[in-house]
Protein backbone atom coordinates (compact mmCIF):
# COMPACT_ATOMS: atom_id res chain seq x y z
CA UNK A 1 0.00 0.00 0.00
CA UNK A 2 1.30 3.51 -0.91
CA UNK A 3 2.14 5.86 1.81
CA UNK A 4 0.08 9.13 1.82
CA UNK A 5 1.87 12.27 0.65
CA UNK A 6 3.05 14.52 3.45
CA UNK A 7 1.00 17.68 3.96
CA UNK A 8 2.36 20.74 2.12
CA UNK A 9 4.55 23.06 4.14
CA UNK A 10 2.68 26.11 5.41
CA UNK A 11 3.33 29.23 3.34
CA UNK A 12 4.93 32.15 5.04
CA UNK A 13 2.38 35.01 4.97
CA UNK A 14 5.17 37.53 5.55
CA UNK A 15 6.53 36.89 2.03
CA UNK A 16 3.11 37.52 0.56
CA UNK A 17 2.77 40.78 2.50
CA UNK A 18 6.27 41.97 1.50
CA UNK A 19 5.50 41.12 -2.15
CA UNK A 20 2.21 43.05 -2.04
CA UNK A 21 3.96 46.09 -0.53
CA UNK A 22 6.63 45.89 -3.25
CA UNK A 23 4.00 45.84 -6.02
CA UNK A 24 2.17 48.76 -4.38
CA UNK A 25 5.38 50.84 -4.21
CA UNK A 26 6.18 50.14 -7.86
CA UNK A 27 2.69 51.27 -8.91
CA UNK A 28 2.95 54.48 -6.84
CA UNK A 29 6.43 55.24 -8.24
CA UNK A 30 5.17 54.67 -11.79
CA UNK A 31 2.29 57.11 -11.31
CA UNK A 32 4.60 59.70 -9.73
CA UNK A 33 7.08 59.38 -12.60
CA UNK A 34 4.31 59.70 -15.19
CA UNK A 35 2.82 62.86 -13.67
CA UNK A 36 6.05 64.59 -12.59
CA UNK A 37 8.62 63.47 -15.15
CA UNK A 38 9.24 66.14 -17.77
CA UNK A 39 7.84 65.37 -21.20
CA UNK A 40 9.86 66.02 -24.33
CA UNK A 41 13.33 67.40 -24.88
CA UNK A 42 14.62 70.56 -23.27
CA UNK A 43 14.90 73.43 -25.76
CA UNK A 44 15.73 76.31 -23.43
CA UNK A 45 15.29 78.17 -20.18
CA UNK A 46 13.76 81.62 -19.70
CA UNK A 47 14.60 83.92 -16.81
CA UNK A 48 11.17 85.21 -15.80
CA UNK A 49 12.68 88.12 -13.90
CA UNK A 50 13.97 89.60 -17.19
CA UNK A 51 12.08 92.52 -18.74
CA UNK A 52 10.83 90.61 -21.80
CA UNK A 53 11.82 86.93 -21.69
CA UNK A 54 11.71 85.27 -25.10
CA UNK A 55 13.10 82.18 -26.80
CA UNK A 56 13.44 81.26 -30.47
CA UNK A 57 12.53 77.66 -31.20
CA UNK A 58 12.18 75.53 -34.35
CA UNK A 59 9.00 73.46 -34.33
CA UNK A 60 7.36 70.94 -36.61
CA UNK A 61 3.60 70.94 -37.17
CA UNK A 62 1.90 69.47 -34.10
CA UNK A 63 4.89 69.83 -31.75
CA UNK A 64 3.89 70.87 -28.24
CA UNK A 65 5.78 73.11 -25.84
CA UNK A 66 5.47 72.14 -22.16
CA UNK A 67 6.73 74.18 -19.22
CA UNK A 68 8.31 73.56 -15.79
CA UNK A 69 9.04 76.30 -13.26
CA UNK A 70 11.84 76.73 -10.73
CA UNK A 71 11.09 79.59 -8.34
CA UNK A 72 12.40 81.03 -5.09
CA UNK A 73 10.08 83.33 -3.14
CA UNK A 74 11.27 85.49 -0.27
CA UNK A 75 9.15 85.16 2.85
CA UNK A 76 8.91 88.01 5.31
CA UNK A 77 7.13 88.42 8.63
CA UNK A 78 3.68 88.31 6.98
CA UNK A 79 4.11 84.58 6.24
CA UNK A 80 3.36 81.83 8.80
CA UNK A 81 6.11 80.70 11.16
CA UNK A 82 6.14 76.97 10.41
CA UNK A 83 8.00 75.70 7.36
CA UNK A 84 5.03 73.68 6.04
CA UNK A 85 2.56 76.55 6.48
CA UNK A 86 4.98 79.01 4.84
CA UNK A 87 5.43 76.62 1.87
CA UNK A 88 1.67 76.16 1.52
CA UNK A 89 1.12 79.95 1.60
CA UNK A 90 3.74 80.47 -1.13
CA UNK A 91 2.22 77.70 -3.27
CA UNK A 92 -1.24 79.28 -2.88
CA UNK A 93 0.19 82.61 -4.07
CA UNK A 94 1.96 80.93 -6.99
CA UNK A 95 -1.28 79.22 -7.97
CA UNK A 96 -2.95 82.65 -8.08
CA UNK A 97 -0.11 84.05 -10.24
CA UNK A 98 -0.91 84.13 -13.97
CA UNK A 99 1.64 82.79 -16.48
CA UNK A 100 0.87 83.82 -20.07
CA UNK A 101 2.90 82.18 -22.85
CA UNK A 102 2.59 83.29 -26.48
CA UNK A 103 3.95 81.62 -29.59
CA UNK A 104 4.47 83.86 -32.65
CA UNK A 105 5.67 83.08 -36.17
CA UNK A 106 6.24 85.70 -38.86
CA UNK A 107 3.10 86.25 -40.85
CA UNK A 108 0.76 84.30 -38.55
CA UNK A 109 -1.50 85.16 -35.67
CA UNK A 110 -0.01 84.44 -32.25
CA UNK A 111 -1.33 81.59 -30.14
CA UNK A 112 -1.26 81.93 -26.38
CA UNK A 113 -2.15 80.10 -23.21
CA UNK A 114 -2.52 81.08 -19.58
CA UNK A 115 -2.26 79.10 -16.34
CA UNK A 116 -1.23 79.42 -12.72
CA UNK A 117 2.42 79.18 -11.69
CA UNK A 118 1.60 76.19 -9.46
CA UNK A 119 -0.67 73.26 -10.26
CA UNK A 120 -0.38 71.25 -7.05
CA UNK A 121 2.74 69.28 -8.04
CA UNK A 122 6.44 69.80 -7.38
CA UNK A 123 9.47 67.56 -7.59
CA UNK A 124 11.44 69.33 -4.84
CA UNK A 125 10.59 71.97 -2.27
CA UNK A 126 12.95 73.62 0.19
CA UNK A 127 12.08 76.11 2.86
CA UNK A 128 14.51 78.28 4.75
CA UNK A 129 13.90 80.89 7.39
CA UNK A 130 13.51 83.65 4.79
CA UNK A 131 12.53 81.92 1.53
CA UNK A 132 10.76 78.98 -0.13
CA UNK A 133 12.32 77.35 -3.20
CA UNK A 134 10.30 75.01 -5.41
CA UNK A 135 11.65 73.33 -8.51
CA UNK A 136 10.22 71.15 -11.20
CA UNK A 137 6.74 72.66 -11.01
CA UNK A 138 4.95 71.33 -14.11
CA UNK A 139 2.56 73.95 -15.43
CA UNK A 140 -0.93 73.03 -16.66
CA UNK A 141 -0.59 75.01 -19.89
CA UNK A 142 1.08 74.10 -23.16
CA UNK A 143 1.29 75.45 -26.70
CA UNK A 144 0.97 73.50 -29.95
CA UNK A 145 2.61 74.60 -33.20
CA UNK A 146 0.03 74.80 -36.01
CA UNK A 147 2.69 74.61 -38.74
CA UNK A 148 6.41 73.94 -39.09
CA UNK A 149 8.77 76.88 -38.75
CA UNK A 150 10.79 79.16 -36.52
CA UNK A 151 8.73 80.56 -33.64
CA UNK A 152 9.36 83.06 -30.89
CA UNK A 153 8.04 82.16 -27.46
CA UNK A 154 7.39 85.04 -25.06
CA UNK A 155 6.26 84.69 -21.45
CA UNK A 156 4.72 87.18 -19.01
CA UNK A 157 3.90 86.52 -15.38
CA UNK A 158 1.59 88.48 -13.09
CA UNK A 159 3.11 87.47 -9.77
CA UNK A 160 1.07 87.45 -6.58
CA UNK A 161 4.08 86.96 -4.25
CA UNK A 162 5.92 90.25 -3.89
CA UNK A 163 9.52 89.00 -3.42
CA UNK A 164 10.44 86.76 -6.37
CA UNK A 165 14.15 86.07 -5.90
CA UNK A 166 14.58 83.62 -8.77
CA UNK A 167 12.23 82.37 -11.48
CA UNK A 168 13.33 80.15 -14.35
CA UNK A 169 10.98 78.55 -16.84
CA UNK A 170 12.20 75.38 -18.52
CA UNK A 171 10.75 74.93 -22.01
CA UNK A 172 10.43 71.40 -23.38
CA UNK A 173 9.41 70.31 -26.89
CA UNK A 174 7.32 67.20 -27.24
CA UNK A 175 7.32 65.95 -30.82
CA UNK A 176 3.98 65.31 -32.50
CA UNK A 177 2.88 61.73 -31.95
CA UNK A 178 4.96 61.14 -28.81
> Is residue 11 in some structural domain?
no
> What are the residues whose beta carbons fall under 8 Å from the beta carbon of 24, sequence distance 6 or more?
none
pLDDT in tens, 51-74: 899 999 999 999 999 999 999 999
Cα Rg of the chain, angstroms: 24
On whether residue 55 sits in a domain, the answer given is: yes
Task: Yes or no: say if 53 and 147 are a contact pair by the CB < 8 Å rule.
Answer: no
| Domains: count for the chain | 1
CA distance linking residue 112 with residue 104, whole number of Å: 9
pLDDT at 157 over 90: yes
Range of the domain at 63: 41-174
CATH code of 109's domain: 2.60.120
Residue of 164 and 3 predicted with greater confidence = 164
Query: What is the mean predicted confidence (pLDDT) over 144-155?
Result: 93
Residue 110: predicted pLDDT: 87
Query: Within a domain: residue 30?
Result: no
Average pLDDT, the chain: 87
Across the range 70-80, mean pLDDT stands at: 87
Over the stretch 8-24, which tens digit does the pLDDT of each residue have?
766 777 777 888 888 88
Predicted confidence band of residue 34 (pLDDT cuts 50, 70, 90): low
Amino acid sequence: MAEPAPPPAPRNPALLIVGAIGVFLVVIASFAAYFLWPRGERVGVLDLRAAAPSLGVDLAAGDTLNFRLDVTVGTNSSYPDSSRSRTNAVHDQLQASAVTASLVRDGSAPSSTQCGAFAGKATTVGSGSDDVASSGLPLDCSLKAPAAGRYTLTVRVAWVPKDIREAKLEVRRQRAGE
